[in-house]
Amino acid sequence: MDEPLLLPCLGVLLDCDGVLVDSDASVHSAWGRWATEHGLDPATVVAMVYGRRSTDTVAALVDPSGHAAALARVVQLEVEQAHTVPPVPGAVELVTSMATGTWAVVTSAVRVLAVARLRAAGFPDPGVLVTGDDVDAGKPHPQGYLAGAAGLGLAPADTVVVEDAVAGVHAARAAGVGAVVGVGDRALQTDADLVVTDLRALRWTRGGLTAAGPGVLRAPGG
């Protein structure tokens, strides 16, 4: 894709894991260990995790009486590995090119984990950070993205969401955002308006978010 594609917007709402930070290895390790400890198949459990709050995944797998302890354990395992999580290529450069008030992070992760991963990967503190702790219903419910847009003082239609997971794209659509950019191979399984390899393909301009170059895996109509 040679000519830049403009997605008009006043602000960008970014998921964290798989979009800003590459946490796949950490997720596989922590949730795999957690699954083994609970007598569950690691591959099955890991496949359930992406885009969802930990509390929702745990609730689907553990008896209610053990939910609190099981949730605390997986959060502990993930936080212990937060320092190993690198940024997705181009992510730090993108957000540092944007003024405060034009971008927000909307993640299913608990706040302590999201903050630890963002800081370890070298990101500035987001002016607006909506985590799994801040919503009553996690993705694919739109509550998080509605809160992110409100935090920027914008209507959802004036924002673009950057996501990597099916649940996150569904949440963005339900929130009524202007467009959705998918990141990575998982996003190819979604109906994101376009899909990029990583955030090196994206630029912030006065008119909104642009995408161009070989990092565009799927363009509108593709």
**Catalytic-labelled residue, pool 2, 15, 63, 191:** 15
Strand-strand pairing, 208-211 and 202-205: antiparallel
- Can 15 be counted among the known catalytic residues? yes
Quote the DSSP letter at residue 122: T
Catalytic one of 17, 22, 56, 164? 17
Which residue from 155, 73, 140, 82 is spatially nearest to 106, judged by alpha carbons?
140
Q: Is 17 a catalytic site residue?
A: yes
Residues 49-79, buried b or exposed e (16+ Cβ, 10 A)?
A: bbbbbbbbbbeebbeeeeeeebbebbbebbb
SS3 212: coil
List active site positions. 15, 17
